[in-house]
Amino acid sequence: MLRQEQHAVLPQSSVNEQARQDFLNQLGKHVLNEITPGNSAAYQRRVLPKIKAEKGREPESRHEIRKEMVRDPYYQMTSSFQRTVQEMMWNSVDDTIQRQLPALIATAKTIREGETLGSLHLDPNFEIPPYIADNDHHCMPGGYSGDLVDDDITAGALYDKGAFIYTQGLFGPRMDGIGKATALMIARTFPDLKPQKILEIGCTAGGSTTGLQMGFPDAELHAIDVGPSVLRYAHARAESMGVAIHFHQMNGEAMTFDDASFDLVNCPASFHEMSRSAVYNVFKEAFRVLKPGGVFLLSELPPYEGADPWTQFVRDWDTYNNNEPFWGALHEMDFADVAEAAGFDRSDYWQGTGPGIAEANQLTGAVEVQNKKFMGSTRGGGQAWYAHMTKRTA
C-alpha cells in the first residue's frame, strides 16, 4: 500500500491507528467498487421504469432521477455506507492528530520562528467567508477554517492525512499531484511562459503548492487560503520539505496583491468550495493580479455538460451527501462566461482534460491507485483531471 511521505508536521499513526486507517481505506474502496455500482441495477430495474411510466419519456435531468433514487432502499443503503465510512475515516485521523497535537503545534511554531525559506502572513482581523466558515466540507470536522486552540494546525493536518486516505493515494506520497499536473499542463500548452511569480488560490495544506514548485523551481511562489490552521500547517510542511513558499491569509475575492503582479495564477480544486458570487469575484481578482501575457488555470472534475442524466446524477452524490453544497452548481457553470465577465477575452479561454494527476505523478515514479468504478467523487480516483485556462492578453 502506498504510504504518505513523512515530513515534520505529518501526524504519525501508531500501529493500531494505522491498522484502523488502512481498514477504513479498504472499506471505502470496497463500498465504492463492489457495492455502490449496484445502484445501476436499482435504477434500470425499478427507478427508470417508474419514471418512464409516470412521464411517458426518459428522464431529462439528474434532478428527476434523484427525486426517485432517494426513495430506493439500495441507494439509501449505499449512501449511508459511503457517508459513514467518510465520517469514520476523518475521526480515525483526528484521533491520531489530537494524541500528538501539542507536539505538532510546537514543531510548527519552532519552524516558523527559526530561519525560514518562505513566510507566513496571518491576518488577526480576517473574516472567514461564510461559505467556508459555516460548513464542514466533505465532512471534515471543523471544515477548512476550524481554529480551536492557540496556534492550531489541526485543519491542515486533517486535510493532509485524511485526503491522502480518501483519494486513495491518487495525489501521490507528497499530496502534490494537482500541482504537478498543473505545472505539466502549463509547460505543454505555454512552452514560452516562464513564470517568475506564481500565485495559488486555495492551497489548504500546501500539497498542490509544493507540486507547482517542482515544475517551476525558480519562481517566487505565493499561496493564499482563508483558514489560519491550514496555513500554519502548510508553512511548516513546506519548510520541512525545503520548499520556499510565501503563505498569506487572504480571501481570493479581495486580495491585497498589486495589479499585474503574477505571471501564473492557479486555483486547484478550490472553486467547488465557493459560492457562485465568490467564483465570479475570484475570477475578477485573478484577472487583476495577472500581468498581460499571464495565465489563469483552474482545475476541477469535468463539468456535467455533455454527460447523460444518470452520469450527472452519479457525479452529483457529494452535493447532497458529503457536505459539498456548491458541487452541483459549480459543475454546471459556464466558465467561458465567468472568464469573460472578469475581463478575459472569450477567445483565450480553453477547457479540457489535462495530463492527469496519476500521469503527472508517474513522471516522478509514484504510480497511483485508481478506482474501477464509483458513485460520487468521494475517494477521488477515476475521473479525469480537468482544467480551465485563460490568458490575459491585454
Ligand X SMILES: C[S@@+](CC[C@H](N)C(=O)[O-])C[C@H]1O[C@@H](n2cnc3c(N)ncnc32)[C@H](O)[C@@H]1O
252 vs 309 by CB, closer to ligand X: 252
User: Residues for the chain: how many in total?
Assistant: 394
Please identify, among the stretches 115-123, 188-196, 262-270, 285-293, the one whose residues bind ligand X according to the rule CB under 6 A.
262-270
Query: Does the footprint of ligand X cover residue 290 (CB under 6 A)?
Result: no
Phi, psi of 249 (to 5 degrees): -85, 105
Candidate residues 39, 79, 154, 270; the one interacting with ligand X per rule CB under 6 A: 270
Please identify, among the stretches 24-32, 81-89, 272-280, 337-345, the one whose residues bind ligand X according to the rule CB under 6 A.
272-280
Query: Does the footprint of ligand X cover residue 286 (CB under 6 A)?
Result: no
Amino acid at 57: R
Count residues near ligand X (CB under 6 A): 26
175 vs 333 by CB, closer to ligand X: 175
74 vs 247 by CB, closer to ligand X: 247
User: Alpha-carbon distance 118 to 112, whole Å?
Assistant: 9
Q: Contact at 8 Å (CB) between 298 and 388?
A: yes
Query: Does the footprint of ligand X cover residue 314 (CB under 6 A)?
Result: no
**Shortest Å, Cβ 285 to ligand X:** 9
**Shortest Å, Cβ 52 to ligand X:** 38
Burial class (CB in 10 A: 0-12, 13-18, 19+), 323: middle
User: Alpha-carbon distance 220 to 264, whole Å?
Assistant: 11
377: closest CA among 71, 86, 68? Answer: 86
Query: Does the footprint of ligand X cover residue 204 (CB under 6 A)?
Result: yes
Mask of contacts with ligand X, 242-261, x by CB under 6 A? Answer: ---------xxx--------
Which residues, numbered 320-359, are part of the site for ligand X (CB under 6 A)?
A: none
Please identify, among the stretches 35-43, 66-74, 264-272, 287-295, the one whose residues bind ligand X according to the rule CB under 6 A.
264-272
Candidate residues 31, 120, 183, 203; the one interacting with ligand X per rule CB under 6 A: 203
Mask of contacts with ligand X, 155-194, x by CB under 6 A? Answer: --------------------x--x----------------
Query: Does the footprint of ligand X cover residue 273 (CB under 6 A)?
Result: yes
125: Cβ–Cβ under 8 A, 6 or more apart, which residues?
A: none
Candidate residues 268, 303, 376, 381; the one interacting with ligand X per rule CB under 6 A: 268
**Shortest Å, Cβ 132 to ligand X:** 5
170 vs 224 by CB, closer to ligand X: 224
User: Alpha-carbon distance 11 to 100, whole Å?
Assistant: 7
38 vs 325 by CB, closer to ligand X: 325
Which residues, numbered 95-134, are part of the site for ligand X (CB under 6 A)?
A: 129, 132
Amino acid at 106: A
Query: Does the footprint of ligand X cover residue 274 (CB under 6 A)?
Result: yes
Query: Does the footprint of ligand X cover residue 300 (CB under 6 A)?
Result: no
Query: Does the footprint of ligand X cover residue 153 (CB under 6 A)?
Result: no
Amino acid at 200: E
Vertex 160: Cα angle to 154 and 166 (nearest 5): 115
69 vs 269 by CB, closer to ligand X: 269
Q: Position of cell 461564510?
A: 130
144 vs 349 by CB, closer to ligand X: 144
Which residues, numbered 1-40, are part of the site for ligand X (CB under 6 A)?
A: none
Please identify, among the stretches 21-29, 42-50, 270-278, 337-345, the one whose residues bind ligand X according to the rule CB under 6 A.
270-278
223 vs 375 by CB, closer to ligand X: 223
User: Interface residues with ligand X (CB under 6 A)?
Assistant: 129, 132, 144, 175, 178, 201-205, 207-208, 224-227, 230, 251-253, 268-270, 273-274, 278
